[in-house]
Amino acid sequence: LAGGPGCNVCYGLVEDTQEKEGILPERAEEAKLKAKYPSLGQKPGGSDFLMKRLQKGVWGIISYPLSLDVLLCVDKIEGETSYFDSGDYNMAKAKMKNKQLPSAGPDKNLVTGDHIPTPQDLPQRKSSLVTSKLAGGQVE
Amino acid sequence: MQNSNNTPDIISTVEFNHTGELLATGDKGGRVVIFQREQESKNQVHRRGEYNVYSTFQSHEPEFDYLKSLEIEEKINKIRWLPQQNAAYFLLSTNDKTVKLWKVSERDKRPEGYNLKDEEGRLRDPATITTLRVPVLRPMDLMVEATPRRVFANAHTYHINSISVNSDYETYMSADDLRINLWNFEITNQSFNIVDIKPANMEELTEVITAAEFHPHHCNTFVYSSSKGTIRLCDMRASALCDRHTKFFEEPEDPSNRSFFSEIISSISDVKFSHSGRYIMTRDYLTVKVWDLNMENRPIETYQVHDYLRSKLCSLYENDCIFDKFECVWNGSDSVIMTGSYNNFFRMFDRNTKRDVTLEASRENSKPRAILKPRKVCVGGKRRKDEISVDSLDFSKKILHTAWHPSENIIAVAATNNLYIFQDKVN
C-alpha cells in the first residue's frame, strides 16, 4: 500500500479498514483510551501537545478580576510544576524539604514575606561537594 | 510520576571518551562522575582493566529564571568528550540551557621551598628576604582537578536535547526543541544559528527537533531528527541557515495502520551516525532503524525492540512511559547495535547474523564476573519457567542510556541510579 505524507486517514469508512481494527493492537488500545477520555483530541501530535512539551516549567494562565483585590488563578500544567514567582518557588521547595525531613526544625530557608531577611537567613546554595553515589565506587 | 525517579542520583547520560580509557556519567543532580580504566598489570595479563572513579565534580547547579518564573533543572542531559590533544581531558556537559567545557587534569607534583611566606603563611616583608630560593617540584598524591574553562550560556530559549562535537575539533553544535546553534570553542558570547524550525505562528507548530549529530568525518554535514519520525541531513556549505535540508529520510506509513498513537511512537528519541559515517541509526519508541545515507525513502534495517508493548499503549500513554526517550549505540565496528528497554532489560542486535539478545542489568541476577543470561519476554499463552510475562514488566525500571567502548566489547548500562559495566569474557 503506498502511503505518502499527503494521505488522510479514513476511520471505518472502508471495509477492510474495519477488518484491520480487529487485528491492529494499537486500534484496540486507542479505543480503550477514547473510552476513558472521550474529550481526547483527534491529533495528539498537534499544536497543543507540542506546546506542552515546549513549556515545561512555565507558569500557566493568571487572571485578574476587575476588583482591586487581585485573585490569582494559576493553571497547573499537568505533570509540570509552575510557580507564580520566586517566593512561590521558595515556598514550594521548603515544603518539599519539610516532607522529606520531618525531624528538621523550623525551616530557616522560608524567608520570603515573613520578615526582613538577613544574610544568615538566606537559603544556602547546595554544596558543590555533595558526592554522587557512583563516586563511592559502586560500579558493577 | 513515581518517586524513585526524583532522586538526584539518577544517571542521565553515559559516554566513553575516544580511547575508551575514560567513562563519564552525568546525573539528575548536575554532577559528573568520571571513571578511568586501570592499567592492565603485567602480572595479571588475563584480567581486563576495571573502571574506577577518577574524578567527580558538580557541573551544573539548579537555577531559577526570574523573568519567566521557571526552574532550570541542573540535570545533565548530555556529555560529549573532545579528542585528547594534550595531557588534560576536555568534555562538554549540558543541562537544559547552558553548555560548559570542562578541563580535567592531573596534578602529581607540588612546588615546595618558597621562602616568601613565614611559617604562618603570612607574606614576608621583601626587605627581610636575603636569599633567592628556587622552589623544587616534589611528588604529591595524585590529584585530579576539574575546572570549567568555558560557559556557553543564553543561547537557547527551549530545552537543549543534544550537543555534538564537530570533526574539525574547533566547533560544536547544541540543539534544542526548535533551533540548532553552532559554536566555536573559543567564543562564548555568540553562536551561529544554523537551524530554526520555529513557525511564525506557534499555532502552526507540528514538529520539534529531538536529536542532532555531526557527521564523524565531514565537518560540514550534520543530521537532526524530529518528533514526526523524520531525519534531515544538512550541509553547511549550502547556506548559512540550514532550514532547507539536503536529504530527507522518512519511511512511508501505511495509512490504514494509523492510530492515535502513531505519531507519538514514531517520534525519534536518538540519532547516531555509524563510525564509518555511512549509516545513521534512529530509535523510536518500539524500534531501532538503520538508514543508508544514500537511500532516503526507507531504512535498510528495522529491529523490533519490544513489539509486545503495542497492546499496552493505552496504559503506557496514561503513565507517560510512551514519552520515554531511549538512546541507541553502535559498537566500534558498526556490526552490533544496542538499546535499552523496560524492566532493566537491554537489547543487542547483530546486524550481520541477524541474531538478537535481551539481557538484564540488575543486582539480583548478576554477581561480579558472572555471565549474563539471556532473558525472554513471553507475550501470551504459556509462560516458560525462565520467561517473564508482559504484565509483570516493571516500567519504572527503564534503561534509557547506554554506551559502548569505541574499540572493545565493553558496555556501560545506566539503570536508574546504578551503573553497570559489562565486559566480554576473556578466553
Among chain A residues, the shortest Cα distance to B254 is held by A3
Q: With beta carbons under 8 A apart, name residues in chain A contacting B312.
A: 29
Distance from CA of A124 to the nearest CA of B (A): 13
Residue of A nearest to B362 (CA): A140
Q: What is the pLDDT of residue B83?
A: 96
pLDDT given for residue B7 in this prediction: 73
CA distance A42 to chain B (A): 7
Q: Give the chain B residue whose CA is nearest to the CA of A7.
A: B255
Residues 39-98 of A with CB under 8 A from B: 40, 44-47, 50-51, 53-54, 56-59, 79, 81-86, 88-89
Mean pLDDT taken over chain B: 91
Q: What is the Cα–Cα distance from B360 to A51, expressed in whole angstroms?
A: 36
Domains of chain B plus CATH, in order, are 63-88+152-423 (2.130.10.10)
Chain B residue whose CA is closest to A136: B53
Least confident among A42-46, A106-110, B290-294, B305-309: A106-110
B405 band by pLDDT with thresholds 50, 70 and 90: very high
CB contact under 8 Å between B261 and A8, yes or no, is no
B203 touches chain A (CB under 8 A): yes
Q: For residue A125, which residues of chain B lie inside 8 Å, CB to CB? A: 61
- Closest CA–CA distance from residue B122 to any residue of chain A (Å): 28
Between residues B21 and B257, the one the model is more confident about: B21
pTM of the model: 0.78
Q: Are A20 and B56 an interchain contact pair (Cβ–Cβ within 8 Å)?
A: no
**More confident position, B401 or A3:** B401
Is the pLDDT higher at B219 or at A18? Answer: B219
Residue bearing the bigger pLDDT, A3 or B370: B370
Of B1, B252, B318, the CB nearest to A2: B252
Alpha carbon distance A104, B264 (integer Å): 44
Does position B291 have pLDDT exceeding 70, yes or no? yes
